[in-house]
Amino acid sequence: MIENTSITITIDGPSSSGKSTVGEKLAHNIGYNFLDTGCLYRALTVATLQRNIPITDTDTIIKLAGDIDIVVKPSTVEDGRQYTVLIDKVDVTWELRSSSTDTNVSLISTIPDVRHLLTEQMRSIAKGANVVMVGRDIGTVVVPEAPLKFYLDASIDERARRRHNENMRNGQESDYKEILVNLQARDDIDTQRDNAPLKKPTNAYIINTTTMKPKNVLKEMLRIFHTVI
pLDDT of residue 1: 45
pLDDT recorded at residue 136? 92
pLDDT at 2: 47
Query: Any idea which of 8-17, 48-57, 181-190, 201-210 has the lowest mean pLDDT?
Result: 181-190
Q: What is the pLDDT of residues 102-159, one digit of tens each?
A: 889 989 999 999 999 999 988 887 887 899 999 999 999 999 999 999 999 999 999 9
- The pTM for the full model equals 0.84
- 8-215 belongs to which homologous superfamily? P-loop containing nucleotide triphosphate hydrolases (3.40.50.300)
CA-atom Rg of the chain in angstroms: 17
The yes-or-no verdict on residue 65 having pLDDT over 80 is yes
Tell me what pLDDT residue 4 has: 53
Pairing of strands 205-208, 148-153: parallel
Mean pLDDT of 12-26: 94
Counting residues of the chain whose pLDDT is more than 70, the rounded percentage is: 98
